[in-house]
């Protein structure tokens, strides 16, 4: 198998050496060159034809964002992973980069990390992203799903949807920017979201989405009472759950053990909404690597709720939604640009009295009808 060819772009010689040695230590990867700024990188790409580029944000001559803009004009499909600092400035710049077309990001090890810890951080956080973006993820039909028993047959009663739960990862910030701003301001149920991101990033993401959306979007906090037409995003490094019953549903956040190597984890959120709301849940699994959300989707389905997914063509990585599909847990798949309308349609239709709903369904059967 031909290894994935990588161009490393970073102004720090220490970081270039660390990345080169660590990435090339994996037999599936090969660092074919490095560059100390964006101008040099752009000159090397046509000669080297890398499969993927890692790109620092803070660089002299031409910084990461400037480089990304030019790179996307010339190479719109070349995967780019931003390598950013875990700071307010680094998080803001990373979100800018994602909106400009970066494929994903990884955070740099802190200066206090030992060399061994820095290497391990790169192996855990960066290498899986490179492989996923270059198509080396585990085939969906071979994904091990421990603890995932056969899906129960459901008796479809078309229950009223009382909450929407969304899970996403790689490509998620841009996907959420396609979905949440298109939710109407009179949306009648709350929305809870897990986006795999570290602290600081999730708060800034919520603020950006709020500035573009008709509904309020906030980072989740313990004790917040859920209300209709409001979205909450799980805070980085904390699981988020829905607890309570009846009119008293609220959020809980905790630092329990990671699940699927993630905190926050989609499975934790989905499991909690299934327990709190039973059949009155619409789960949505969007772009992301890995299989987080599969067990939670099964909980939602087994409680009588529905699960829809983002389709493969519009996903940056079809790991999470693809795993749900491969496990037989998806009710339907939609392009990201159609998800907001479909979520809204399902929620509103579930609130129409059954006789009226049957008439409406008969009159509006289309390509996405269930």
Query: 10, 267, 292, 331: which one is catalytic?
Result: 292
d(CA 77, CA 71): 10
For the chain, what is the radius of gyration of the CA atoms?
A: 21
Write the DSSP string, 66-92: HHHHHHHHH-TTS-EEEEE-SSHHHHH
**CA distance linking residue 138 with residue 143, whole number of Å:** 6
Residue in the structure block whose two tokens are 């987080």: 292
281 contacts 305 by C-beta, under 8 angstroms: yes
Residues in the chain, overall count: 370
Whether 41 and 35 have beta carbons less than 8 Å apart is answered as yes
Per annotation, catalytic residue among 103, 137, 169, 272: 169
169 classed as catalytic: yes
Strand order in the sheet with 217-219: 217-219, 231-233, 191-195, 163-168, 281-285, 306-310, 332-334
Is 196 designated active site? yes
Annotated active-site residue in 10, 196, 239, 272? 196
Contacts of 80 (CB under 8 A, 6+ apart): 52, 53, 54, 55, 68, 71, 101, 102, 103
DSSP state of 2: P
Other CB atoms within 10 Å distance of the CB of residue 17? 13
> Which residues are tagged catalytic?
169, 196, 292
């Amino acid at each position: 198998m031909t290894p994935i060819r990588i161009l490393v772009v970073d102004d720090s010689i220490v970081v270039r050496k660390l990345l080169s040695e660590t990435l090339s230590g994996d037999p599936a990867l090969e660092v074919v060159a490095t560059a100390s700024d964006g101008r040099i990188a752009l000159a090397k790409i046509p000669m080297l034809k890398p499969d993927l580029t890692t790109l620092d944000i803070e660089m002299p001559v031409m910084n990461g964002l400037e480089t990304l803009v030019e790179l996307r004009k010339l190479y719109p499909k070349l995967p780019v992973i931003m390598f950013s600092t875990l700071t307010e400035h680094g998080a803001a710049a990373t979100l800018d980069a994602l909106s400009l077309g970066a494929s994903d990001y990884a955070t740099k090890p802190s200066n206090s990390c030992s060399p061994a810890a820095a290497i391990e951080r790169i192996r855990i956080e960066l290498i899986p992203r490179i492989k996923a973006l270059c198509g080396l993820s585990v085939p969906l039909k071979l994904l091990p799903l421990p603890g995932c028993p056969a899906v129960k047959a459901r008796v479809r009663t078309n229950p009223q949807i009382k909450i929407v739960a969304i899970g996403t990862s790689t490509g998620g910030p841009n996907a959420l920017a396609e979905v949440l701003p298109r939710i109407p301001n009179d949306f009648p149920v709350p929305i809870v979201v897990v986006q795999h991101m570290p602290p600081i990033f999730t708060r800034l993401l919520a603020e950006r989405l709020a500035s573009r959306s008709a509904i309020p979007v906030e980072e989740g906090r313990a004790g917040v009472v859920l209300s209709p037409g409001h979205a909450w995003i799980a805070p980085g490094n904390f699981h988020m759950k829905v607890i309570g019953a009846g009119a008293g549903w609220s959020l809980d956040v905790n630092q329990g053990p990671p699940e699927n190597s993630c905190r926050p984890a989609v499975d934790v959120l989905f499991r909690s909404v299934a327990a709190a709301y039973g059949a009155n849940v619409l789960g949505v699994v969007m772009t992301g690597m890995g299989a987080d959300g599969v067990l939670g989707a099964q909980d939602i389905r087994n409680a009588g709720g529905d699960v829809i997914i983002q389709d493969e063509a519009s996903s940056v990585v079809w790991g999470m939604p693809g795993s749900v599909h491969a496990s037989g847990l998806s009710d339907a798949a939609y392009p990201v640009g159609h998800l907001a309308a479909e979520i809204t349609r399902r929620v509103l239709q579930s609130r129409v009295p059954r006789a009226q709903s049957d008439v409406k369904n008969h009159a509006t059967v289309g390509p996405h009808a269930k």
